[in-house]
Chain A
């Protein structure tokens, strides 16, 4: 199939869950303080910049508090002192303070953006590096969409808050304190009146925030569901089309879409009442100030300038309260996002090197499975008491029905999962005592599902050995018989593969994967059903090349094609997780057992080789 886009775009957001119908598990306990502390840790790593930013924020707040006071003085210069020169002085002072405030604010944003983005960058780096250490089971158990959502959306959430939220919070708090103090200093009685509305605001916003949180959570649940439906349907779009089930898909989509809309509307309308209501409270406060101030001015207890200042302060008091309220919401969602991110960072890798792990130097290729048992899901054994010994350089063929455990054996050899009983030895050393990377480096695996990256053919093959030269790559491609078809591609080795290599046929992808393995030049080779999707012609030539490659290397071939394994030194017949028969081809045939049955079935009783009746 030809697909022409070469740069895959942004990954799907939202999560899809396992289980009957997309429900995400919600209701996680919130460790607010802990998460905040960790988040702060990332920011605090930018010690220098953070310190500067904090100082600047303090400066902004102080300057901001001065402004209305100076204005009040200016007014009094006019009303009370009737002094033009005094007015001029106050005016200039005001200007200086305002300009300073603006300049400092910009500087603070300048510094803060650098600090916060660096913190986010560190968070992303850590997350990615962590993922590299986690075992396969972690990735098996989680839908990719969900992991992508954490990496992309959640981190971005946190990023937005760190950038402006933190300083916003600091400056808001400082402003509040500064304003309150200044007011108290100026005129205690008026200050008391002004501050009366503050607690009311706090109570109001907390009440609304609590109600809306539940609503938003509900919205997120439906969003996750919908995203899951979208991801699954579109990923399987061809099947949907092939069975004419487009209408049904739309119906399923619509049902959840409707639910999402209802939940989202409800949540957002409710949360949308907060700004107007806080405004109302603020304005009421203002009115009270104006009234009280007016009364006091009429009595001559306060000057007009004082009142003007207080009116300004009362207004200015509202801004930080408002922003704290809205910040509260976004900080909540950022913390929720951070929690999800930290969950991943806290994962303990199932398989990890310990300090006792030995390195593996030159490998002969002696492989032993000693009474190995394995259960992927506890209680459901996949391998039972598997034992065999492969001498260096031997070719071992693994045959048996699907699901018998052949692929599992490969996974265990590469230590993608840990066994439950017995031992796996390489060169007589238990692989659990060896460094993970060393084991895998010495193993060359061609997997059932070939995964290729959105890069050129050359780079994809070079993935097998990063330092390889172009000639080495081409040589490897020759061995794998991939060179011929590569040269027929529009740009040869420089052809860009699309996402997952979908602009090549399955057979061609297999060939590239084999070339990649050839380049890796491993000591132990494993071919996991690698040749079953390639046409018989190509397979033949690869077989020849493989035989060449397998010479001198211990090779495990998992094949369904009996014709490919006739040359094997040992055949292990696996059924239902156990080795039921073993031996060379002729001997097994003579036993007339399981192997014989498999062999005969392939030719449907027609062509049976001479010598076997």
Chain B
């Protein structure tokens, strides 16, 4: 119940902020629609027609009503298309990209982090953490083109950009997932090191269990909780990063939709896209909470 209330507050807060900011942005959408040479009479007529003569809170109310009923249309006449179908097409693409990056990040980070923790102080540890520092430091707008140059131009294995097949997904999700993988592997290492010092691990070792069983079944399962927290929080960063990555790889997701809407000063689509980003973030955070309970019986009992 409390979770649901805070989720609603987060969504409403985001909506209020974006409406306020859109109100403050310089540049008149009417100029964009009519061109700079239009007469003032036409400007006023259009402003009324699209409801831009209303104060921002009235516009926000109309927006929320239309969004909830699925009647929301792009602000630009005369082809006021419904916004939700565009989001319906773009959202799965972005989710595809973020989930793939998440999988890549987890797939790289967990073995790397666990290996570094298990062999603390060795060359494996230094190498793994060296890679992790590099991963955090590389900006996406640089890493993206570099991956393209190596895998698409030199090796000719993968396409440069676009979204026609699963092969187009590889490079953008690698680009997007690398920074998270780097961050996550450091987190995993730290959490594992802490768990490996716990008494139950010593007991498990004393019982003569296979080191691999101790590492994965006893230590790793208990180290999962902080890793999950970071994953939940970092999902938002991934969504944000998707905007840059989608631009580099011409990936037709929510980031592309948002950029086009901003270029056209299409306020309704901008608001709706940001709202969807917020919703995704809130949902993932709620799911993270649920996952805690699944992973750790202590959390289940407390709640």
A and B pair up:
no
